[in-house]
Copies of this chain bind each other. A is one copy, B any other.
Amino acid sequence: MKDFIKKNLPKKSQSLSEWYNRVVMLAELADYGPARGTMIFRPYGYAIWETVQKYMDEKIKASGVENAYFPLFIPESLLAKEKDHIKGFAPELAVVTIGGGEELKERLVVRPTSETIMYQAYANWIKSWRDLPVLVNQWNNVVRWEKRTYLFLRTLEFLWQEGHCAHATWEESWERVLWGIKLYEQTYREIFALPTVVGRKSESEKFAGGVATLTCEVLMPEGKALQGCTSHDLGQNFSRAQNIKFQDKDRSAKYVWQNSWGFTTRSIGGMLMAHGDDAGAVLPPRAAPVQVVIILAKSETDVTEYAKKVELELVQLGLRVKLDDREEESMGYKINKWELRGVPLRIEIGIKEVRSQNLTIVRRDNQTRLLISNNNLGTVKTLLDTIQSDMLARQERFLAENTFEAITYNRFSEIMKTTKGFIKAFWCERAECEMTIKEETKASTRCLPLDAPKENGVCVKCGEPAIHRWLFAQAY
């Protein structure tokens, strides 16, 4: 396996995208589907999504939002109700034209997102202020016809949750927009051990049909940004387009205020790319389907029994444990296999460990070896917590070290030509400068960080007055 990895896995630093694709395939996280641009979530990769789902679903429900399920197919005319929305999504649509052997009178779009189909129902359901807020979420699949695809990161079909709420006031709706983006920021931090920059998208980068979009931007190893998720303030754009009105307490008819927020399987790709190393994936303990793998140096009765006892005790501690007792694979092969798969902790058990009633335990993230006593298995749990926070700390350092400030356009261009990374720079907020910067440096506005202070500056491009430093980066 060592040889196999050496032969098949380029160094991460040499060819990130090649390394990434190979790790995803060899670690059995995902595979390509037969139709161009589609992917298969293999059990090991899907289990990461299940962990995210469990974590987020509990928080979504605790906040009063209920799950539902709306249809996959949207009649073309319905999708077109909000003009900016259809303009934004038109180039990315998959369209069903034949059903039951016959050409359809009205073509059906496979949902790229569910605003229009959900809000048609909301228009029927909402009559009075008593029916508000409507707080609904769904876990489903959506399809966007991407030209160039990338496992997890950009695929024709992906999985996500999309929350869609309707409120009586803008203030209440905006609270939910913020709540959404904070949930995502927390999920990245707590589960994926990834810090993000939270902020507002520019007009040109915001959601098609929305008023404002919040995003979590993640910095990837080669200095490019990954848009990690989004939470949209839809204002009354859709309620006006789809006539969603309620009778308020004062008996006047008003349009509802809406928001939508989504977190996708793309996040798994970001997590894999950020933490992995030359030996393969490195999974944060809270995201890992297997947190501890136990490998037997010899498959003798004593060793197996001891290993099973350890396995049972770790399971009872609430850990996700795998005992690898396959006889036909060598110790070295198994070590490489589980390193490739990124299991946070590896326990090696041989005769020596049985005799001493100790365990040899190896951290995946930094290869530290420890000898711990069998009487003290609780330390395994503590160790997993330490790994999780160490991984986050490493990424925080990386983010800090690769976030630059640029006052001059020369400096801006130079960074984008060399190290890349995030740049904080004053921007006049005119689309023209934004476009020129992108054409010349490949860097786009990522967001205006929520915590950005109001300052007196001049646009890095045109020198006109600018009051905020925006975050720029090249993006996926």
Q: Which residues of A contact B (CB under 8 A)?
A: 31, 33-35, 38-43, 46-47, 49-50, 66-75, 78, 90-101, 106-108, 110, 117, 120-121, 124-125, 130, 136, 140-141, 143, 145, 147, 156-157, 159, 326, 328
Q: Residue A35 contacts which of B95, B108, B143 (CB distance < 8 angstroms)?
A: B108
23 A-B pairs with C-beta separation under 8 A: A31-B124, A31-B125, A33-B71, A34-B71, A34-B74, A34-B75, A34-B78, A35-B73, A35-B75, A43-B66, A71-B156, A71-B157, A72-B141, A72-B157, A73-B94, A73-B143, A92-B100, A93-B100, A93-B101, A94-B108, A95-B98, A97-B97, A97-B98
Give Cα A326 to B34, complex, Å: 53
User: Smallest Cβ distance from A220 to chain B, in angstroms?
Assistant: 24
Tell me which residues across on chain B come within 8 A of A35, comparing CB atoms: 71, 73-75, 106, 108
Q: Are A94 and B96 in contact (CB under 8 A)?
A: yes
Give Cα A107 to B124, complex, Å: 35
List the B residue with the shortest CB-CB distance to A289: B66
Give Cα A74 to B117, complex, Å: 24
For this chain, the copies found in one complex come to: 2
Give Cα A38 to B140, complex, Å: 16
Q: Residue A38 contacts which of B67, B73, B98, B159 (CB distance < 8 angstroms)?
A: B73
Give Cα A107 to B103, complex, Å: 14
Contacts A95-B98, A96-B96, A98-B95: A33 and B70 contacting too (C-beta < 8 A)? Answer: yes
User: Smallest Cβ distance from A86 to chain B, in angstroms?
Assistant: 13
Q: Are B94 and A38 in contact (CB under 8 A)?
A: no
Q: Residue A69 contacts which of B40, B101, B117, B143 (CB distance < 8 angstroms)?
A: B40
List the B residue with the shortest CB-CB distance to A108: B35
Further 19 A-B residue pairs, CB within 8 A, beyond A47-B66, A94-B99, A100-B147: A31-B124, A31-B125, A34-B74, A40-B68, A40-B121, A41-B69, A46-B67, A47-B67, A49-B69, A69-B159, A72-B143, A73-B143, A91-B100, A94-B108, A95-B97, A96-B96, A96-B110, A110-B110, A141-B141
Q: Are A40 and B97 in contact (CB under 8 A)?
A: no
List the B residue with the shortest CB-CB distance to A73: B35
Give Cα A42 to B122, complex, Å: 11
User: Smallest Cβ distance from A67 to chain B, in angstroms?
Assistant: 5
List the B residue with the shortest CB-CB distance to A31: B121
Tell me which residues across on chain B come within 8 A of A147, comparing CB atoms: 100
Give Cα A47 to B66, complex, Å: 8
Tell me which residues across on chain B come within 8 A of A46, comparing CB atoms: 66-69
Give Cα A140 to B40, complex, Å: 13
User: Smallest Cβ distance from A370 to chain B, in angstroms?
Assistant: 30
Tell me which residues across on chain B come within 8 A of A108, comparing CB atoms: 35, 94
Give Cα A384 to B74, complex, Å: 41
